[in-house]
Chain A
């Protein structure tokens, strides 16, 4: 469930990034592959996360919501999943 919040934030970033018409396909492809990676990890993690991990996810979602520039949103579409995986002590790739 925790990582679904990140997947949802990725959707918000896609909405912000979609106005860059030339990158429409790339933006959606990024969302597809990273959401799949996060969901695969999430399905393996059924235990309650430590407080500091939950706080990290909160903070990462907040940071994603601060991104309004479409070009920055494209950068963050790739960065948010990597930062999330580092936060939960998973291989970031």
Chain B
């Protein structure tokens, strides 16, 4: 991000903080927070059991289930479904970004349409396609810059006016969607006992994607909880922390393909919604991750508070996994080198993110732990190597 983008991002974060203040201090929210903390901790502790249960229940509900151990396997599963398509569509999803689906499909000459407005803007930005915030990907771009991006990419000169931009992108996305038969989304929470996928959105785009012939849901196994009630608690808290509102415009709960039995009680799939629903449960390092790293509900509060993120933006993070917790996660998704490159040593260990986190993720402790192995694998800043040597020989970090 350049200095202008960073400044825009900081102003957006400040507005977000002001908007969230009231709801975060509401005793109801605090109660919900305590409940969700426990749900997340218990769920991560029981991940294997929940995974078995989810697989069974999805199958019973008529949803196709795959377990993908890594990104390559997930990509292959998706490719087998979409290979005959020219265009497929998707909603905002960190998990989909994690496996680099956009690049993979481009290489296979399949066009991927982003339906979330912020994502679509970031996707059309020719210089930097990384998001600034998990819920507000384009928070770092001001309206003038966005108008420039849209004018250039859609070949139509437009005014820097939010509504005009929205209408134009909407028309463009709807036109693209008319060519699509397959929608790809993530899920914010997965209820194992019910075999249900819970998705949150404000724009209504996910609803459109669930009405495609085939709906593919890619979701990390860390998103598992027991019941729909638990899922709703998680996403209510996420919404409060991410946007400052009590409830999102839409909560979609998908538990089976669209079906009807209105003619002689004969079951038919694919009435208005998806004829086929496919769930891909993604491991990709999550089973080996430190448990605290998986508590995250994806609200982005940590980066709004983070002094380093406010100073450097998404340089401190890995793909959509932003800030210290994202960097820690990248070690498990990829490896030591990736977390080093994503900013493992940029964290000042100040601990403010833990205070701001609805589930109290102890990021500074995670980072400190991960540095031990990173250092042993040879990934540490040169300056730290010099200081280590200095201390060994002179007792002082400043003298050799």
Q: Do the two shown chains form a genuine complex with each other? A: no
B-binding residues in A (CB < 8 A)? none
A-binding residues in B (CB < 8 A)? none
